[in-house]
Chains A and B, each alone.
Chain A
Amino acid sequence: MATETAVAADPASEQDNIIVARDVHKWFGNFHALRGVTTTVGRGEVVVVIGPSGSGKSTFIRTINRLEQHQRGDIIVDGVEMTEDVRNIDAIRSEVGMVFQSFNLFPHLTVMRNITLAPTKVRKTPMDEADASAMQLLERVGIPEQAEKYPGELSGGQQQRVAIARALAMNPKIMLFDEPTSALDPEMIKEVLEVMKELAASHQMTIVAITHELGFAREVADRIVMFDEGQIVEDLPPDEFFNNPRHERVRRFLSQIL
């Protein structure tokens, strides 16, 4: 079980860690999905999470915005502890953007309305203001011309870029990516990765991304965290992770996916 004191590369105090997880456990029925996960993520850090399917990596990042509830341990996001308290959860969720493997755009709303929905309903941003910033975001992800279309009329890569814009519209401090390119056709992976790279390079927000795009991990990640069997197996900067992992399990996994 990894302890993080050694790995926290930054000289990070507790305040500088926007995400703190201590001994997090989660069960689905009898299945022990998370078996004591302890880690921290610093402000502005880019963390790539990898691991075999069923290793708990997706469950873990879903506990960060409480789409899954952990049953033991503590998760503290931006100083707020994730508990039963509903107001805490909504407050945290509006600061944590999430991008899903299957896009999950709202098919009955136009691209524009997908993006402006949360700002206007949760933040009470005036409609024209929300429209203007939505348009900026669409330009940032490179598809301003699709604003009035419905999600079903876009390609997978375009949909995922809209999903990223939708999450960014809330000005989140943290962005969670749950295998954002796994459902895409090969020729569309690049356009989504480009957007993610641009986000990572801006260093405006903390990013936790599950992805098996190792080139992306090598290029932009500050740390790579590998999950297996509900635990963190390895947590290292990319160079060390690829060239000099401490666990044989990492080498075996890399050889399986490369």
Chain B
Amino acid sequence: MPARTTIVAFLLLALAFVAPVAAIDDTEKELDRYRQMLKADPWSNPGLLEADRGEALWKQVRGPKNASLEGCDLGKGPGKVEGAFAGLPRYFKDADRVLDLESRLVWCMETLQGFAKAEIVKRPYSKANQTGTDLEALATYVALKSNGAKFAPHLEHAKEKAALALGEGLFFRRQGPMDFACATCHGESGKRIRLQALPYLSKPEEARAVIGEWPAYRVSQGTVMTMQHRIADCYWQMRLPRVDYGSDVTIALTMYLVHQAKGGDITAPSIKR
């Protein structure tokens, strides 16, 4: 009998120790459930629903100019989607600018379909537990079409080199009331903030493991999240003002991150915390 009491007491003690973490990070459990589900059935990834919606949107004739996005050149020629994401961001002659996937989609919606840019970028991100926005769905679709490819970003044009240098400068730039740079939180291996693991994004091994996962379905949000959104969220955490969608800064940071992840597998859309 006393032995039993001891065991029960021990279990209760262990529980008391573990419970607070479990309560805080229910998301981890949810994530595990998803991981199991994905193992059993890769098609159960909710991110794929967004990709499907994105494919339909890509093909649909829309906008003031009554056009689909099938004429959109993502770097491999008009309408070529397969593998295109792996070569982005890159310089586009027509726009005379380095563009990432999302800003290229905006450019195509603007020039091919005739949508007003202000309208397109007014609400680029979905809120928790909503279906994705058009941009999120399109980005997820295009990224999925590079699933299995490896990042091979361009670095030929002077503006591509400038974007990479800018991205690197920004990554290490400290600013704001907290003195944060990206490198404050992503500049060393094995660190975490609260319980959230922070990848060392300047280290190729660690960048390769995570950068190709975006756009990702986020279990904690119940919706897909793109790289533009991820970076904007980190700037929000840094206590800085709201950064523009598809801005030079967020494109340059994406360029920097993709270059750190060069050769890494694209596994988008993945499932993340």
Q: A and B: real partners?
A: no
Using a CB–CB cutoff of 8 Å, the interface residues on chain B facing chain A are none
Using a CB–CB cutoff of 8 Å, the interface residues on chain A facing chain B are none
